Amino acid sequence: MYNRIMKMFSSDMAIDLGTANTLIYVKGRGVVLNEPSVVAVAENRLLGRKEVLAVGEEAKRMLGRTPGTISAVRPLRDGVIADFEIAEEMIKYFIRKVHNRSMMTAPLIIICVPSCATQVERRAIQEAADAAGARKVYVVEESTAAAIGAGLPIEKPVGSMVLDIGGGTTEISVMSLGGVVYSNAVRVAGDQMDADIIDYVRKNKNLLIGEATSEDIKKKIGCAIAPKDKTNEKSLKIKGRDITSGVPREATITESQVAQALSQTVTKIIDTIRQALELTPPELSADIVDYGIAMTGGGALLRDLDMAIRAATGLPAFLVDDPLTCVARGSGKMLDDLDKSKHILQTMY
């Protein structure tokens, strides 16, 4: 009876709980929320616990700018929960924001996890959603949701390969007849690209920059292949702290330098694709030659990454429509047709 009453007042949802961003798809409404997976917390010494001050976009603006008593943290690392309590509060906040109220909300939730997540990590994600007020929680692998969101023919006897590059993990999957034939994930993705740029600027420019500046560099002039025409390549002025003097300073970074900084991470992603191709059955490999590799996720937006993959594998690679919301839309399609999708979904109860 309680479940039936809660169902009347709740909107069922699919959550792409990403390391960098959290997206929520609500049944009948589409993707209604896309906010950074960041929480600002303050240490309450009197009560001996942490208090949540801000979540999402507001909290992200605080990254690297907080006083000693406040910290802006990412409760997820490499696609899995690093801080259970804060992750629970974040999910709870997003559920309330979608419903515009805090009472009488107990939605059915489909939540996405990376294929490299262990059973313990999957259970932690399910329990966090359960503690946030869900009446039932299903888990689906991100690559499966990405393939459905990209509109790949995974139900047909045809091999479909999807490359999902998120914030914490890069997943590569081959699917056929509604099932996963091969799946692998490496914990190298968008966050690692940011770290590579920070490291490069520190070593080659003697400048310390933060995550926000590094992400800005990646979005504006980031590329997988250095431009051949050096005279017309783009550059960007960046500000940070000089390592030697300790005072703020400005420097300039070019596309070629960013490509050099990202080369190791791009090589690891390509090696993961090569490994997948080596372990894919021959008949499905032939299909991949025809249909190519579908690229999804925010990391897939790195300029010329598709060209780098083509050059290394000889296979066509293409960016799907709206790659940032692809996983959320795919899990949303499963939510819209739950009975048909239950063989793909996992649950702990």
Residue ending a domain, choose from 255, 285, 303: 255
Q: What's the CATH code of the domain at 249?
A: 3.90.640.10
Please, what is the end-to-end C-alpha distance for the chain in angstroms? 18
Q: Which residues on neighbouring strands pair with residue 237, listed in sequence order?
A: 252
pLDDT of residue 241: 95
- 227 and 116 in a single domain? The answer is no
Residue ending a domain, choose from 255, 276, 296: 255
Percent helix, strand, coil in the chain, to 5, is: 40, 30, 30
d(CA 136, CA 140) in angstroms, rounded, equals 14
Query: Exposure of 142 by Cβ count < 10 A (0-12 exposed, 13-18 middle, 19+ buried)?
Result: buried
45 in a structural domain: no
- 86 and 224 in a single domain? The answer is no
pLDDT of residue 47: 66
d(CA 115, CA 183) in angstroms, rounded, equals 7
Mean pLDDT of successive 10-residue segments in the chain (349 residues)? 55 88 90 91 74 87 77 84 87 84 73 85 87 87 90 88 92 88 90 96 95 93 91 92 94 96 96 93 89 92 94 93 92 88 74
d(CA 147, CA 161) in angstroms, rounded, equals 8
Asked if 238 and 207 touch (Cβ cutoff 8 Å), the reply is yes
- 173 and 208 in a single domain? The answer is no
CA dihedral 188, 191, 195, 200 (to 10 degrees): 80
pLDDT of residue 8: 55
155 in a structural domain: yes
pLDDT of residue 269: 95
d(CA 347, CA 349) in angstroms, rounded, equals 6
Q: What's the CATH code of the domain at 303?
A: 3.30.420.40
Range of the domain at 284: 150-189+262-323
The dihedral built from the CA positions of residue 117, 119, 122 and 128, taken in this order, carries a sign that is negative
Residues in the chain: 349
- 82 and 15 in a single domain? The answer is yes
**Cα 100 to Cα 5, 32, 54, 92, 103, distances in angstroms:** 18, 12, 16, 12, 9
pLDDT of residue 100: 73
pLDDT of residue 348: 60
156 in a structural domain: yes
pLDDT of residue 34: 93
- 14 and 100 in a single domain? The answer is yes
Domain tally, the chain: 3
- 200 and 217 in a single domain? The answer is yes
| Entry pTM | 0.87
- 112 and 29 in a single domain? The answer is yes
- 336 and 292 in a single domain? The answer is no
pLDDT of residue 115: 81
d(CA 274, CA 260) in angstroms, rounded, equals 21
Residue ending a domain, choose from 235, 255, 275: 255
- 109 and 227 in a single domain? The answer is no
- 89 and 20 in a single domain? The answer is yes
- 136 and 85 in a single domain? The answer is yes
- 100 and 232 in a single domain? The answer is no
pLDDT of residue 342: 79
Tally of CA atoms within 13 A in the half-sphere of 114 that contains its CB? 29
